[in-house]
Amino acid sequence: MIDKSLVKRRFKKSLAKYEENAVIQKIMAEKLIKILPSGEYNSILEIGCATGLLTRILKKNIKFNHYNAIDIVAEAKDYIKQIIPNAEFIEGDIEEITINNKYDLIISNACLQWCNNPEKVIEKLKKSLNKGGIIAITLFGEENLKELKEYFKLESPVLFKPNNVIFHDEEKIKIYFNSPLDILKHLKQTGANALKNYKLTRTMLSDFEKYHKKHYNEGEKVYITYNPEYLILN
């Protein structure tokens, strides 16, 4: 089970530096907006808005009249209000809260992997669509952060295959860093710490650094691989 209180604390702590480090999340957000089948939706709900990285890109490219945003971190409201002053912000866990309105577009970027039961969440969201509405999401595939999974023997996330998928795509993207320790700092600053409660001693960090430099380097740089997936459902 995912510890939602831990997730909330990590993201709250990382908000100030989130967009500075959320390189892959920005790539995913930009592509998600590009693959939307329409450039106009009357009502939109964003799940897991955080600092508004996706919100900002969406506002520049999509026409809409009503915008609601949900996030587990209350402080995200200030970021969203700066981007869309008349947006309605809802604080809460998407797995727990009740969605009272219906929407033409429900959108979420790199969020549903934090759900204990993403299939159930998708079914809930489908019930909150207007006729002809769609759900557009990004998430991470099986090979996401495979370098860290190999070294730290981490479990892969539980993958789910929702019904009514009208578009699916995935890609593998390498992100480069000056050192293996910079990789760990990067993950921490996005709130998406793959190691969770993993206790790293100095010896373990030193061993990890040597291993990663040896096996995952290109020139003077080291890298990790992200495996984003893009889905549109109705």
Name the phi and psi angles at 98, rounded to 5.
-95, 130
Q: What is the pLDDT of residue 192?
A: 57
Structural domains counted in the chain? 2
**134: its two tokens:** 């769609």
Q: Are residues 32 and 135 in the same domain?
A: yes
Q: Are residues 36 and 97 in the same domain?
A: yes
pLDDT for residue 50 is more than 90: yes
Q: Are residues 170 and 181 in the same domain?
A: no
What is the rounded CA–CA span in Å between residue 191 and residue 7? 7
Q: Which domain holds residue 215?
A: 177-222
What is the rounded CA–CA span in Å between residue 108 and residue 35? 13
CATH number of residue 133's parent domain = 3.40.50.150
pLDDT tens for 57-93 read: 999 999 999 999 999 999 999 999 999 999 999 999 9
For residue 104, count CB atoms less than 10 angstroms from its CB and return exposed for 0-12, middle for 13-18, buried for 19 or more: buried
Q: Are residues 18 and 133 in the same domain?
A: yes
**52: its two tokens:** 């508004």
Q: Are residues 216 and 128 in the same domain?
A: no
- pTM here is 0.92
How far is the first Cα of the chain from the last one, in angstroms, to the nearest whole number?
28
Q: What is the pLDDT of residue 97?
A: 96
Q: Are residues 24 and 134 in the same domain?
A: yes
pLDDT tens for 86-144 read: 999 999 999 999 999 999 999 999 999 889 899 999 999 999 999 999 999 999 998 99
Domain contains 150: no
pLDDT tens for 177-186 read: 999 999 988 8
Q: Are residues 108 and 133 in the same domain?
A: yes
